[in-house]
Structures are given as structure tokens and as C-alpha cells.
Chains A and B, each alone.
Chain A
Amino acid sequence: MAHSVDEVLAGLAEIVEEVAGIPASSVLMEKSFTDDLDVDSLSMVEVVVAAEEKFGCKIPDDDVKNLVTVGDAVNYIVKAAN
């Protein structure tokens, strides 16, 4: 199923709010999960699994370490889900 960048960003922001308590409006493309959004390595796994379910895609563990910013994740998911 195809998703736009805006759709994925909005969906990911909801997940980050649920997992880390960061307001969805603060989850912007340039933000770093670790440095800006208080998402540690364990919580990142939660974000990834929730995103896989929400967007119907697979994000292999080997690729997760490359997802430093929200934009990295959004672009990865857009590509993977399309």
C-alpha cells in the first residue's frame, strides 16, 4: 500500500508520542530519535515494530541502526511500503 511522506510522518509521530511521550507536533523530519526525542535503543525497537504494523512493511534489524533521524525512518518506510 502506498503512503505519502506526510502520511508516514504523521503516523510515526503518533507512535513516538505513544512510546516516548514526545508530543506528535515535535516529531519533525530533522529530529534525531536518540538525541532529540528521548527514544533509547530499546524504545527504538518498539517504534520500529509499531511502524511495521502500521504501514505494513518490514524493517530488518540490520537497517534499524541507519535510521538516525525521523526523516531517515520516514523515507525508509515510504520506500519499503511502496
Chain B
Amino acid sequence: MSAPTHRKVVVTGLGAFTPLGGDVASTWAALLAGKSGVRTLTHDWTETIPVHFAAETAVDPSEVMDRVEARKLDRAEQFALIAAREAWKDAGAPEIHTERLGVVIASGIGGILSLLGSYDVYLEKGARRVSPHTVPMLMPNGPAAAVGLELKAQAGVHTPVSACASGSEGLGYAMEMIRSGRADVVVAGGTEAGVHPLPMAGFAAMMALSTRNDAPEKASRPYDKDRDGFVLGEGAGVVVLESEEFAKARGARIYAELAGQGITSDGFHIAAPDPEGRGAARAMKMALIDGGVNASEVVHLNAHATSTPAGDIAESLAIRGALGADTDHVAVSATKSMTGHLLGGAGAIESVFTILALHHRIAPPTINIENFDDEIKLDVVRDQPRSLPEGSIAALNNSFGFGGHNVALVFRSV
């Protein structure tokens, strides 16, 4: 494969606000310990929908965010801002001309809690009582705008929307901003806050959600024979990306290189995956070519693996289609078994996990596999984390979304 000619992009900061913890350290520790972030919901509407559980954030944003600031922000914006602050601090708050600083925060749905909550206000109290903050809170680019304002970013603020592939597409877009020379530093990630009866009823109507109400922490079980759908999660993941030259010039700590991306679309069905995973396989192959990474270097893969019967199999076929015999030395982790599915936040938080796996040379476990589905021809990391080899190694992160979106990112150790 030909080596890329563009500027190298590296990861220098990480932030997370997830069902497993309020920051990267607590989330990563819970992930390696195989803990589930899924719980029975305690909202007054819980019993009105068929699915009574989800993976809500471990910490409520009100515990870490000022009340006056929080009341003007949608919950998805709060998640993104909290995670972005952590990532920015973790990167050492780079000194950069704001015209060279960009922000890309993706979302699958946008501020749906604000949208629906404001509609309730309108119905109950009339138009005069609809908050003037409603539109900035419901617009899908609201989280990106909030982070951009905080950092005064002026190289461009963007929000890719591709359902559950959004977060990964966000990182890919940010990488291109740096490669093309439009920015030197980009704060990139994804966020979602959709634990509300309407989207949950919609997903349930699609038969997409697990209905394991009697054992919520066992409900997200990718690769298990008895998997019956995904578990809705919420939260955000954010990374700081920089051109390698900028990061090295300022002496930044570098976690990993974001080496390449592959983006394809299925052109097959609005919600169902191509059963053979052809579009997903092409995305992974393209990511490797784009990153100048040989399949033999790939030792870890954070799978999209949402715990749906069809999706997990299609992805496993795609992985083997893309990597061939090299699949056998890839330690596959399905971290949604612990975090649930963060939708537009998924690709971002799973990128954080993939980066940490390379940095610490350890692949997180997949939990809840009681009867492994033998149709899955992958080496899945089960129950306990697994060490990754020394030397130069690479890892893939897959994200797919309703609409037939396929995004694969490839990271390389430094």
C-alpha cells in the first residue's frame, strides 16, 4: 500500500462522560473491570413503554456543571461540554491561534429532550412560555457550537449527522480538517442524550431494542446466541486531534495516531444492514489504505456490535471480508456490552476506548456472552481484558448507522 502524503494527525487529549463514569479514568477502569452501565429506569414514564431500562450517565451533569450554565444547554450539549473540557485540559490546553482551532461534535438526533420538552410547554402553557433558549438547545449543531464558543474556535465548527456512525464520522471529518491544512488542532467527538419515551418507543417499534426487562445489566450481549437488540445509552466522548508537527513542536503527550478513515454507504435498506456486510468491509479496507496500514498490523478492533441478531453477524462477515486471514490475530471487543449504545456518541467514545487500548496495550472485555454464537467467526475478548503485543500496532473502530452509513477509523500506536 502506498504511504499517505498528507499531514499526520495525532491524539493528544481524551474526554468522556458515560454510563460508566463521569470522566475518562473512571470510565476506563469500569470498562476493564467488565461493569455494566445499564439500569432499570426510574422515570415516571418508564412503565409506559415496552423497554424499562437504559444506560444513563453514571454522573448527572448537574453535579459537575453550574446551574445557570446548564439551564441554557440541552443535556447532549452538557455532556459534550463536560467531555470537551476534560479532553482540552488533558491535552494541556494547547496555545493556538483561534483561527487554527476547529471543533467537530457529532450527534445522531440532536437536542431531542429540549425539542420534546419545549413542545410539552407549548401545549400546556402556550407560545409565550416557550423558552428563547429552545432553538439553540434543540439544534443538532448545538453541542458543537457550545464547545466552539467555549474555546473561541474559528477554523470551523461542524456536526456530521449519520445516526449511529456520527461520532466516528466526526473524528474523520476533524482529521480531514487537519490534513487539508484548514486547522492545526480540532476538538472532535460525539454526544447523545435521548433517554425519553418517544425515541425509545420508536426504537422499540422497530424491534431494535432488547426487552430483557428482568435483567437489564445482561441485556446488551453482543455475540451471545440470545441477544435480542441494543440497549439505549447516553453520553459523550471527545478527543483532541492535532497535526503531528504542531503536537511535537509544543511537546504534547501523544496517545496514538489517527491514521485513516474509510466511509461508505450501503444503498441497501433504511435500517437493516447489508447481510453480507459489503459496505462495512469496504469501509475497513479503505481506512487501512487511507492510513497506510497493513492488515497484518491490526491487532485490535472495537466493533460496532450493538447486540442485534442481524447486525453482529453482518459486521463479523465484513471484518473477515476486509481483513481475511489477518482476522485471526485481531482481538475484538464489543464495549456496548457495558456502555449500551450511545448512538451519535458511540463512535466517539469507542474511539476513546480504541486509543486507550493502543496506549495501554490492553483490549477491553466483552461481557454477557453466556452462549457464544458460533456464526461469529471472530476472536472476541470475553469477560477479562487482554494484553496487546508490543511494537508498532494498529486498531480499527467500526461504526454503522441507520441509513446505511459505514465508518471505519484506524489508529496506530506511537
Contacts and interface: CB of A to CB of B under 8 A. Distances in A.
Interface of A: 19-21, 42-43, 45-46, 49, 52
5 contacts: A21-B67, A46-B131, A49-B128, A49-B129, A52-B128
Contacts of B136: 42
Contacts of A19: 68, 71
B133 A21 contact: no
Interface of B: 66-68, 71-72, 128-129, 131-133, 136
A42 B133 contact: yes
Nearest to B135: A42
Contacts of A21: 66-68
Contacts of A46: 131-133
Given A21-B67, A42-B72, A46-B131, 9 more contacts: A19-B68, A19-B71, A21-B66, A21-B68, A42-B132, A46-B132, A46-B133, A49-B128, A52-B128
A39 to B, nearest CB: 11
Contacts of B131: 46
Which secondary structure dominates where chain A touches chain B? helix
B68 A45 contact: no
Nearest to B69: A21
A46 B132 CA distance: 7
Contact of A20 (B68, B129, B133): B68
Contacts of B66: 21
A50 to B, nearest CB: 9
Nearest to B131: A46
**9 A-B pairs with least C-beta separation:** A21-B68, A45-B132, A42-B132, A42-B133, A49-B128, A46-B132, A20-B68, A49-B129, A46-B131
Nearest to A41: B132
Contacts of B67: 21
A56 B66 CA distance: 30
A43 B69 CA distance: 12
Contacts of B68: 19-21
Nearest to B129: A49
A21 B71 CA distance: 11
Contacts of B129: 49
B24 to A, nearest CB: 29
A60 to B, nearest CB: 11
Nearest to B134: A42
Contacts of B71: 19
Nearest to A22: B68
Nearest to B66: A21
Nearest to A38: B68
A21 B67 CA distance: 8
B78 to A, nearest CB: 16
Nearest to B130: A49
Nearest to A52: B128
A20 B71 CA distance: 10
B125 to A, nearest CB: 9
A68 B160 CA distance: 40
Contacts of B132: 42-43, 45-46
A42 B68 CA distance: 13
A43 B136 CA distance: 12
B388 to A, nearest CB: 47
B39 to A, nearest CB: 31
A15 to B, nearest CB: 13
Contacts of A49: 128-129
B137 to A, nearest CB: 11
A49 B125 CA distance: 12
B85 to A, nearest CB: 19
A53 to B, nearest CB: 8
A47 B72 CA distance: 13
A1 B107 CA distance: 48
A5 B263 CA distance: 64
B61 to A, nearest CB: 16
B64 to A, nearest CB: 16
A8 B66 CA distance: 27
A53 B68 CA distance: 21
A54 to B, nearest CB: 13
Contacts of B72: 42-43
A62 to B, nearest CB: 15
A16 B321 CA distance: 61
Nearest to B67: A21
Nearest to A44: B132
